Structure 1
Amino acid sequence: MSDVREQIARARSIVVKIGSSALTDLHDGLDRARLDRLADALEARMRAGSDVIVVSSGAIGAGIAPLGLKKRPTDLATKQAAASVGQLALAHAWGTSFHRYNRTVGQVLLTADDISNRAHHANAQRTLDRLRLLGAVAVVNENDTVATTEIRFGDNDRLAALVAHLAGADALVLLSDVDGLYDGDPRKVDADGRRARLISEVHGPEDLDGVIAGSGGALGTGGMASKLAAARLSADAGVPVLLAAAEQAAQALADASVGTVFAARPERLSARRFWVRHAADASGRLVLDDGAVTAVARRRRSLLAAGIVGVSGRFYDGDVVELVDTTGAVRARGVVAYDSEDIALMVGRSTTDLAPELRRPVIHADDLVAV
């Protein structure tokens, strides 16, 4: 067994994301038998000594059949209505299934704002920690009843990656209707009669050369593209990832011997730097000259006013902004020390030309993260 698989198999704290297709059926709603089998596998992992947080998709899918809908809704109001019905059914189903093992389930509904807002972020973290200490199983889902296009995570794969870092998990397991990452569509044969190849391990970008990732299916918003993005986000944050089929949940959670694994970066980002890079919404942009781009993106130096050539958006001291080069490409993100109005007056000026109260770096190196 590889080091990455062994690391996931031995992880003391894991986040397990379960896709809509593993829990729901378009015509019959929640599949209780499949959910029970997944709960069995999760319980076995917990009895083996691991703390487990479940990120469960399926709220909208679970609400489709009870509302008499024929397909997954596309308009926001109907999605929210389906989620309001489905979340209740989903939480009850998880609670009933884990009750067989005398486990208590706590539902945690999050929106993107709960991750991007530092205060909400800390509250969510405390809730997850306390549920774990009290011996309850946290079942996390995006709060689709209130989330809008502008404030949603986009899919539960990304949510799971953010929760893994939020909870300080040792590993992330993504379970869905695919059994791993392929270099093409495994259902098809190319012109040369070749079938797609399963990629067993991903250690860096070079292992993804030629990979084509598709979008989601009828019941979910995610697809291989979202799973790949979430896996890379999680691995970048120092959390190794296993991507496997929900039907292989027992084996995936027992010894991580199936699917595709993604190796984590050697050093985990601090909670603050992860928040700046991945979780926080950017409130504006600073355009940098070439010298400043090199200083902040490659050398991790503080950003000084002299290297700024433009300011975009309205933001305030403590907000996160994107740092872009003169072509508009995002090169870093950081927490500004001044309001946008103040920075606009500082653009291009050396530190000695500024008033004493404006001589601090615009963004300190400790608050900068290259992207």
Structure 2
Amino acid sequence: MTGRTEDVLRADVLTARRIVVKVGSSSLTTAVGGLDSDRVDALVDVLARARAAGTEIVLVSSGAIAAGLAPLGLAERPRDLARQQAAACVGQGLLVARYTASFARHGLRVGQVLLTADDVGRRTQYRNAHRALSQVLAMGAVPVVNENDTVATAEIRFGDNDRLAALVAHLVRADLLVLLSDVDGLYDGDPGRPGARRLAEVRGPGDLRDVELGSAGLAGVGTGGMVTKVEAARIATDAGIPVVLTAARHAADALAGRGTGTLFHRTGERAADHLLWLEHASTPRGAVRLTADAARAVVQDNRPLLAADVTGVEGHFAAGDPVELLDEDGRVVARGLAGVDARELPRTRPSPPREVVHPDDLVPVAGPTRAVERPVPRDGTPARGRTGVRIRVLPASAVPGP
């Protein structure tokens, strides 16, 4: 669906009482790095008005690395991890200090929350992060969330703050996710191309069938593009959280429910918290391969996965760990919480039926899945992957020796 809907107020926005707002680096900084105080203040003014109206705000803000470029004499975002970490180390303090001063103009305090993928990829840390964010909100402060780029390595990165924002929206049980960038919505092609049309609404995957997704933003400053934003919208809407994607300059209209940008309608229902974590934030610790009949039964008939259904075990996992369920062809059909240790399965198969995964702890994986073959290191550390790219974990015996 395309066209102008600016005069139509969006009910999902107007009824939202807790909103996660994500803003990209290019909307906060100059092209050569360094924070743009006027841009930061303009955004904070909008968020403060929403806060004064009784809406809880969680701000997911990029910009730490970009803010650290100019102070360190870097002309563009470095490619190597070490210098990215150094820029984040310098820039994160500048970013939070600027937010602290800007929100203070409205009598609001901010709380800094830095996360790595481990903080939502493990159930215990996920619960801790939920409690911390909930308490910050309960005490009237505005959480400012960012990836902990100073310590995050290539193996424990979210990859972009769009995905982080979608996961934070799950974490805090938000009613709405707003993604702000330098593009005023999702277009069916390059926004700079004559004839490109903005999609006012997206009601499901079918609306994206003919959309050409490309990168967006200022080169050398940000990392995300339109692909990451659409993927973040899918994660959120699948869990019942609507998403508005628009330019930062239209933030006031977005939070007022006006028809700016693109509204992604919710496509799923809000599930139990542990299922949201399991599907979108957990890191698989291993995999089990199923018979063809079992693969159909656990996904379609909601029956438990029994030890007798398992034809192979991959990786090292313990009871309570997230695992992926593979069909006979090695495709991921579901993700679940293991009820037994991996080492127990060979012994339990000949014994009376025993649950490997309970139906209440299982999430089917819809649609085609791309399996990425990565070995488990000898220390048992699991392979990691971004949402949309499922990771198949190989057993330690398959890892070549040094």
Residue 290 of structure 2 contacts residue 309 of structure 2 at CA under 8 Å; is this kept in 1?
yes
Matches within 5 A, 1:259-278: 259-278=261-280
Residue 284 of structure 1 contacts residue 312 of structure 1 at CA under 8 Å; is this kept in 2?
yes
Aligned with 1:110 (options 115, 118, 123)? 115
Aligned position for 2:43: 38
CA distance in 2, matches of 1:236, 1:343: 33
Residue 242 of structure 1 contacts residue 256 of structure 1 at CA under 8 Å; is this kept in 2?
no
Residue 6 of structure 1 contacts residue 256 of structure 1 at CA under 8 Å; is this kept in 2?
no
Instruction: Give the 3-state SS of the residue equivalent to 1:287 in structure 2.
Output: strand
**Structure 2 unaligned residues grouped into runs of 5+:** 366-402
Aligned with 1:229 (options 220, 231, 238)? 231
Residue 34 of structure 2 contacts residue 66 of structure 2 at CA under 8 Å; is this kept in 1?
yes
Q: Say if 2:131 is the partner of 1:126.
A: yes
CA distance in 1, matches of 2:262, 2:346: 48
CA distance in 2, matches of 1:25, 1:326: 52
Residue identity matched to 2:357: I
CA distance in 2, matches of 1:20, 1:370: 35
| Alpha-carbon spacing, 1:59–1:362, altered in 2? closer, same or farther (3 Å) | same
CA distance in 1, matches of 2:338, 2:17: 37
Aligned position for 2:301: 299
1:291, distance to aligned residue in structure 2 (A): 1.0
Q: Say if 2:84 is the partner of 1:82.
A: no
Query: What's the CA shift string for 1:325-346, capped at 9, x where partnerless?
Result: 2222211000011111112344
Aligned position for 1:179: 184
Residue identity matched to 1:19: G
Q: Say if 2:364 is the partner of 1:362.
A: no
CA distance in 1, matches of 2:331, 2:225: 26
Aligned position for 2:257: 255
Residue identity matched to 2:234: R
Aligned position for 1:192: none
CA distance in 1, matches of 2:268, 2:356: 30
Query: What's the CA shift string for 1:145-185, capped at 9, x where partnerless?
Result: 00011111111001101111110111000000111111111
1:303, distance to aligned residue in structure 2 (A): 0.7
Q: Say if 2:218 is the partner of 1:244.
A: no
Two-structure CA RMSD over aligned residues (Å): 1.6
**Structure 1 unaligned residues grouped into runs of 5+:** 190-194
Greater CA drift, 259-268 or 220-229: 259-268
Percent identity between the aligned chains? 53
CA distance in 2, matches of 1:5, 1:330: 37
Aligned with 2:77 (options 72, 75, 82)? 72
Residue identity matched to 2:200: S
Residue 33 of structure 2 contacts residue 68 of structure 2 at CA under 8 Å; is this kept in 1?
no
| Alpha-carbon spacing, 1:277–1:96, altered in 2? closer, same or farther (3 Å) | same
TM-score, normalised by the number of residues in structure 1: 0.93
Matches within 5 A, 1:86-105: 86-105=91-110
1:49, distance to aligned residue in structure 2 (A): 1.6
TM-score, normalised by the number of residues in structure 2: 0.86
1:57, distance to aligned residue in structure 2 (A): 0.4
Query: What's the CA shift string for 1:65-121, capped at 9, x where partnerless?
Result: 110001101111000000001100000010011111111111111111111112211
CA distance in 1, matches of 2:33, 2:222: 15
Residue 184 of structure 1 contacts residue 211 of structure 1 at CA under 8 Å; is this kept in 2?
yes
1:122, distance to aligned residue in structure 2 (A): 1.4
Query: What's the CA shift string for 1:198-246, capped at 9, x where partnerless?
Result: 1111111111111222235421111101000000000111111000100
Aligned position for 2:397: none
User: How many aligned positions are there?
Assistant: 358
| Alpha-carbon spacing, 1:26–1:318, altered in 2? closer, same or farther (3 Å) | same
Aligned position for 1:135: 140
Aligned position for 2:392: none
Residue identity matched to 2:199: I
1:268, distance to aligned residue in structure 2 (A): 0.3
CA distance in 1, matches of 2:177, 2:146: 15
Q: Say if 2:333 is the partner of 1:331.
A: yes
Aligned with 1:19 (options 13, 18, 24)? 24
1:256, distance to aligned residue in structure 2 (A): 3.8
Q: Say if 2:309 is the partner of 1:312.
A: no
Residue 111 of structure 1 contacts residue 151 of structure 1 at CA under 8 Å; is this kept in 2?
yes
1:28, distance to aligned residue in structure 2 (A): 4.7
